[in-house]
């Protein structure tokens, strides 16, 4: 009898959810004690907020965001008690596309250099002691970093001279996408920039590329491989 097995292999540290979301993901078909590997993309998209304990651990290991924003804005991890502050300074809600109750907050790129009003508390992090300080002179980006909220790029990635310069000075991890034995293209993951480029097989990888966030690239990868997975699981 055949059964499908899924393994999440730790790629880097983080909360259990992060390990699952950012870990390597492989699908196997078990058949007479032999494994047939299905090549997969090692980054998983996610559209849900972290639960309180997951968010606490994530923030304990938070690294301030110092990358450029090449997309519509920045994805945020926000606790329920903090959402009104994020909304007041321009944050937007991205609902779960499936229609569920989940979703997450994000901050438009054009607002990152703005300065929140002086009536906004400097620290609203629900896991930090309360602070009597106010946002005097802080930019929105600095405020988000101080409150440990930035999780990555969000939305559409537009090719620009800044993006091309940054990626030309960075190293990408290549992930060929093979569907039904035919290579349809290659994903180039610039993990240090939080962006991915995709070059179809008939294009020069240095020109006419499609650009994605890590989350969006995962969705595209899944769509390209969907028919292959169905074919293997139905054998």
Averaged over successive runs of 10 residues, the pLDDT of the chain (235 residues) comes to: 30 39 35 37 61 91 95 95 95 83 91 91 86 81 96 93 94 86 87 91 70 89 68 38
Secondary structure of the chain as H, E, C letters: CCEEEEEEECCCCCCHHHHHHHCEEEEEEEECCEEEEECCCCCCCCCCCCCHHHHHHHHHCCCCCCCCCCEEEEEECCCHHHHHHHHHCCCEEEECCCCCCCEEEEEEHHHCCCCCCCCCECCCCCCCCCCCCECCCCCHHHHHHHCCCEEEEEEEECCCHHHHHHHHCCCCEEEEEEECCEEEEEEEEECCCCEEEEEECCCCCCCCCEEEEHHHHHHHHHHHHHHHHHHHHCC
Q: 233 to each of 23, 26, 27, 121, 123, how far by Cα in Å?
A: 22, 13, 10, 53, 50
Q: What is the pLDDT of residue 17?
A: 41
Q: What is the pLDDT of residue 135?
A: 74
Residue 218 · residue 14 · CB < 8 Å: no
Q: What is the pLDDT of residue 234?
A: 34
Distance, CA of 189 to CA of 223 (rounded, Å): 17
**62-66 long-range Cβ contacts below 8 angstroms, 24+ apart:** 62/148, 64/145, 64/150, 65/141, 65/144, 65/145, 65/150
Q: What is the pLDDT of residue 95?
A: 87
The residues with which 7 forms a beta bridge, in sequence order, are 26
Q: What is the pLDDT of residue 222?
A: 81
Residue 211 · residue 160 · CB < 8 Å: no
Q: 76 to each of 91, 92, 144, 202, how far by Cα in Å?
A: 9, 10, 8, 36
Q: What is the pLDDT of residue 79?
A: 94
This prediction's pTM: 0.75
Q: What is the pLDDT of residue 177?
A: 84
Q: 87 to each of 31, 154, 182, 195, how far by Cα in Å?
A: 52, 16, 46, 26
Q: What is the pLDDT of residue 184?
A: 84
């Amino acid at each position: 009898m055949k059964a499908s097995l899924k393994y999440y292999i730790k790629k880097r540290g983080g909360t259990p959810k992060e390990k699952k979301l950012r870990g390597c993901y492989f699908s196997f078909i078990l058949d007479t004690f032999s494994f047939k590997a299905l090549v997969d993309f090692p980054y998983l998209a996610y559209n849900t907020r972290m639960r309180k304990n997951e968010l606490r651990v994530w923030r304990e290991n938070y690294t301030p965001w110092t990358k450029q924003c090449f997309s519509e804005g920045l994805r945020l991890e926000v606790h329920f008690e903090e959402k009104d502050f994020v909304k007041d300074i321009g944050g937007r809600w991205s609902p779960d596309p499936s229609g569920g109750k989940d979703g997450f907050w994000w901050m438009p790129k054009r607002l990152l250099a703005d300065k929140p009003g002086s009536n906004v508390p400097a620290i609203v992090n629900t896991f930090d002691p309360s602070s009597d300080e106010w946002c005097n002179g802080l930019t929105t980006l600095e405020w988000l970093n101080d409150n440990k909220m930035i999780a990555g790029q969000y939305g559409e990635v537009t090719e620009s001279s800044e993006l091309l310069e940054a990626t030309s000075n960075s190293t990408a991890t290549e992930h060929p996408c093979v569907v039904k034995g035919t290579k349809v293209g290659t994903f180039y993951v610039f993990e240090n920039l939080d962006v991915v480029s995709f070059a179809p097989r008939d294009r020069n990888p240095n020109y006419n590329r499609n650009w994605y966030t890590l989350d969006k690239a995962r969705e595209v990868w899944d769509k390209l491989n969907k028919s292959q997975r169905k074919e293997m699981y139905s054998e």
